[in-house]
Amino acid sequence: MQRTILLAALGATAALFAGCATTPPALAPTPRTAGAPVPPHRGGVRRPAELAPPVRSLKRTSIALLLPETGPLSAAAQSVRDGFLTAYYQLPPLDRPQVRIYDTAGTASIASLIARAGRAGADFIIGPLLRPNVEAAAADRAPRPPMLALNFLPGGTRSPPQFFQFALSPTAEARLVAKRVLADGHRLGVAIVPEGQLGTRVLNAFTRQFQAGGGRLLATTRIDPSATDYSGPIERVLLIRQSRERLQRLEQLLGMPLAFVPRRRADIQFIFAPAPARTERMLEPQLRFYYANGVPTYSTSDAFAPDPTANQDLDGLRFLDMPWMLGDPLANAVHAVTGRAWPAGGPDQGRLFAFGFDAYHLAVALFVRGVPPGSLELNGLTGRLRIDAEGRVHRSLLWARLQGGQIKILPAQ
C-alpha cells in the first residue's frame, strides 16, 4: 500500500503547526535554513549539520517512508510515523518535501517496495523497521536511493553503499551502562537479567564491554518478568543462602539456636539489573529487603516509565535514557508544541515518537545538506547522534537517578 501525504489528508497532524502560530521560535525554521535539524541543546553550539549549506532543495525532495502500517506492529509504526510528521510539519508548507508511505506488512517484498519507491521518484528512503526487512533491504543489490534503515544489521554484516542504520538498541544501551559503571570506579558486580533472548543479548553486550574495561561479573542470575517474587534468584546471586547454611551448620555444631541476621556477599560494588519498568519496581524493593540497599543498581532505559508515585520504589536506581524522556531544552520545546496541538493527549508520544522525529532530521542532514556520515553530529530527541563512516548512528544518552520518585540528572562522564 502506498499513500502520498497531502495537507488535506492529514488535517489533524497538519494543524500541529498551522500558520506556525504554535511553533516556538527555537523550532520554527527560517527560509534560509528551512529543513535544517532543530537547534542544538545548548545555546551557541552549532552542529556540523547546520554549518553545511544545503546542497539540494528540500521542497523538491521526495522521501519514501517504509513502515508496517497494518498488522501486529501497526501501533509501533504509527508512533514512528507521528514523530516523523511532527518534524515534517515544522516546515512552512511551501518548503515541505513530498512524502509517500509504503506498508511493509503486506504481501509485497521489501525489494519490490524499494523498487516501487524508486520508480515513484523517491530521492531518499527511511525504513524499514523490522530487522529481517532491513537485512532483506541490505541484500538487495538493485539500484536504489540512499536509505536510512530503522534497525541495525546483525554484527559483522557489511552494509552496502549509502545504507545508513538507526536504531533504539538495548544492546547498545547495555554497552553504555558498562562504560558508566567503569567510569564510576566499579570493577566487581553481579547481574540480574530477565529470562529470554533479549535478556541474554543485553547481558552479553554488557559483559563484553565491562570485561574489556577491566571489570568482572562475579555472578549472574535470571528472573521471570511475569513473576512477582524474585527471592530465589536474589538469594542465589547475593549468596544469602550460603549465609543461612552457615547458621544451620553452626547451630548443629553448638546444639542450640542462635540469634542471626543473614548477610549478603560483601565483595560486590554494583548490581546490573536491566528489566522492564513493572519488573524493576518489584525487584528494587526486594533487593533492599535482602540487604543490598547500599549497593548501586544500574539499568537501561527499559526500567524507566514516567510515574512519580510508582517510581518511589525505584529510589536510587541509576539509568540512562533519551532526552525526550528525561527532558532538555529541545525535548521540552517539542513537548510544549505537541501539548498545545493535542490538548486531549493526541498520539502516543513515547520513545518511538522521538525515534521518528529524529529519523526525519537525520534524512535531511544526510541528503539535503549532504553532510558526510563520519562528520555528522546533531542533538535529537533520542540523544546526541553521530554517524560513523560505516553509516551506523550512535546515540549518547543522558544519565539520571531516581530520588523520591523524581528524576535527578547526573553529570556526564
How much is the pLDDT for 372? 81
What is the predicted pLDDT for the residue at 328? Answer: 94
Residue ranges in 255-350 assigned as alpha helix (H): 277-289, 323-326, 329-341
**What are the cell numbers at 179?**
562504560
| Contact assessment for residue 300 and residue 319, using Cβ atoms and an 8 Å cutoff | yes
Task: For residues 46 and 91, state if they share a domain.
Answer: yes
User: Are the beta carbons of 194 and 275 closer than 8 angstroms?
Assistant: yes
Interacting residues of 316 by C-beta distance below 8 A, sequence separation 6+: 284, 293, 296, 297, 401, 402, 403
Q: Which of 278, 280, 313, 273 is nearest to 296 (CA)?
A: 273
pLDDT of residue 363: 95
Of residues 221, 223, 191, 195, the one with CA closest to residue 207: 191
Residue range(s) defining the domain that contains residue 177: 171-322+399-409
Q: Looking at the structure, tell me whether residues 202 and 137 fall in a common domain.
A: no
State the pLDDT at residue 241: 67
Report the predicted TM-score, pTM, of the whole model to 2 decimal places.
Answer: 0.85
Domain identity same for 348 and 265: no
Residue 52 has a pLDDT of 56
pLDDT for position 376: 85
Inter-residue contact 117 to 326 (CB < 8 Å): no
- Phi then psi for residue 251, to 5 deg, are -65, -40
The whole-number pLDDT of residue 158 equals 87
- Each as own residue / partner, the long-range contacts of residues 336-341 (CB below 8 Å, 24 or more positions apart, any chain) are 336/24, 337/16, 337/17, 337/22, 337/23, 337/24, 337/27, 337/86, 338/16, 338/86, 340/22, 341/15, 341/16, 341/17, 341/22
Residue by residue, pLDDT tens for the chain (413 residues) are 555 443 323 333 343 333 333 333 233 332 222 222 323 323 322 334 444 566 778 888 999 999 999 999 999 999 999 999 999 998 888 889 999 999 999 888 999 999 999 999 999 999 999 999 999 999 999 999 999 999 999 988 888 999 999 999 999 999 999 999 999 999 999 999 999 999 999 999 999 999 999 999 999 999 999 999 999 999 999 988 665 555 455 445 556 564 445 667 889 999 999 999 999 999 999 999 888 988 999 999 999 998 888 898 899 999 999 999 999 999 999 999 898 888 877 778 899 999 999 999 999 999 988 888 778 889 999 999 999 988 999 999 999 999 988 999 999 87
Do 294 and 374 have their domain in common?
Answer: no
**Cell triple for residue 399?**
544519565
pLDDT digits over 132-142, tens only?
999 999 999 99
Question: What is the structure's pLDDT at 256?
Answer: 54
Which tens digits make up the pLDDT trace of 172-213?
999 999 999 999 999 999 999 999 999 999 999 999 999 999
pLDDT at residue 405, rounded to an integer: 87
CB of 177 closer than 8 Å to CB of 189? no
Residues 69 and 118 occupy one common structural domain: yes
pLDDT, position 370? 83
Does residue 266 sit in the same domain as residue 287?
Answer: yes
CATH code for the domain in which residue 144 is found? 3.40.50.2300
Surface-to-core class of residue 82, CB atoms within 10 Å of its CB (0-12 exposed, 13-18 middle, 19+ buried)? buried
Q: Are 154 and 20 part of one and the same domain?
A: yes
Q: What 3-state DSSP class applies to 207?
A: helix
Q: Are residues 177 and 243 in the same domain?
A: yes
Check residue 36 and report its DSSP letter.
P
Burial 228-257 (b: 16+ CB within 10 A, else e): eebeebbbbbbbbeebeeebeeeeeeeeee
pLDDT at 45: 29
Q: Are residues 164 and 176 in the same domain?
A: no
Q: Are residues 283 and 183 in the same domain?
A: yes
Same domain, 224 and 368: no
Where would I find the H helices in 11-130? 11-14, 48-51, 74-88, 110-119
Strands 270-272 and 297-299: parallel
Judge if 163 and 14 occupy the same domain. yes
Count of domains observed in the chain: 2
- H/E stretch holding 242 reads helix 240-254
